[in-house]
Amino acid sequence: MLKALVIGCGRVGSTIALQLLQEGWDVTVVDENEDALSRLGENWPGTFIVGHGMDAHLLQEAGIEEADAVVVATDGDNTNIIIGQVAPDGRGADVRDPASAAGRRRGGRRLMYVIVAGGGKVGANVMRSLLRLGNEVTLIEQRRDRYEQLEDEFEHQVQRGDATELYVLERAGIARPPDVVLALTGDDEDNMIIGQIAREKYGVPKVIARVNDPRNQPHFDLLGISPTICATSSVMALVEHEVPEHDLIHLLELRGENLEIVEVQIDGESPSAGQSIEALSLPEGSRLISVMRGGRAEIAVGSTVLEAGDQVLAILEPGKEDELRRVLLRR
């Protein structure tokens, strides 16, 4: 009787295993999720081993050396490629997307390999969007209940574990390395650790981190983790923008360029009202870029005269806000 080893018991793996069984093969299936056995039916007569397909000892136990065929049907290309190389005499891999190793493209756009840490609403929605664009994505989620929900939808593209642990990240393929790592957990300390590990240990070219508490932003800046996304700060900036009598509010931080964009509301008591921009002693490292007046915006030039009610956009180096406020508002 011919022997087959099927690694990965998702939709593809389970279908192949059942078909081989019907054709008279002796089939062994390996999957790290014990619940995947249910896909093979209640009376599965073959062998089912719980474990990760990249575990060399487990593969030997599963009989990879004696197998006449090895089918690798996980959703992780890095896993499929590695196991395919391990399989003896080239018997092995059903690589789900073999073009990924050479840099996949769609419509002239290069597709990416992305690791998403954190399977909450943000992480799950980001993963759906990335997959919709054709990218290869692995999501890591620590909570068992949330992992099980995600596994129903994404199958082997989601892995359970603590993304601050090296072995969890390596199992997800961080040593490959991915094009982008997204640290989107609900814990800022975890996001900082994940970002640091990805950048410093594995040389991931792009790390994007979620900041849950804006008071922790300086810690991300100190570690050089950029760009970051903070929903609280974004909402507050929008709220402040709608306050009729705001003076200076932050709109955008360009941390890579060490610049930020702020909006200043000129009122009737502002010392700058009635003065041209060229007459103002603006602090070094700052520049006015536009003026919104009566619902219309215009580029700020030296001859532009500021008026009460103007909303002025300025670009400046961090730490220059108070100096700019004194020149434009004197407060």
Query: β-strands 69-72, 113-117: how paired?
Result: unpaired
Q: What is the pLDDT of residues 133-155, one digit of tens each?
A: 888 899 999 999 999 999 999 98
| Domain limits, the chain | 3-98, 103-229, 240-328
How far is the C-alpha of 262 from the C-alpha of 7, rounded, in Å? 54
Q: What is the pLDDT of residues 24-74, one digit of tens each?
A: 899 999 998 888 888 888 888 989 999 887 777 888 888 888 888 888 877
Task: Indicate the helix (H) or strand (E) that contains 223.
Answer: helix 217-223
What pTM, to 2 d.p., does this model score?
0.54
Architecture of domain 240-328 in this structure: 2-Layer Sandwich (3.30)
Residues 232-261 have a mean pLDDT of 66
More confident residue, 329 or 103: 329
Residue 283 DSSP class? P
Domain 240-328 in the same topology as domain 3-98: no
Considering only 11-25, 197-211, 241-255, 301-315, which range has the smallest mean pLDDT? 241-255
How far is the C-alpha of 299 from the C-alpha of 68, rounded, in Å? 72
Given 2.40.110.10, 3.40.190.10, 3.40.720.10, 3.40.50.720, which CATH number is that of 3-98? 3.40.50.720
How far is the C-alpha of 37 from the C-alpha of 30, rounded, in Å? 9
**Two structure tokens written together for 169:** 């990240």
Say whether domain 103-229 belongs to CATH 3.40.50.720.
yes
At 308, give phi and psi (nearest 5°): -60, 135
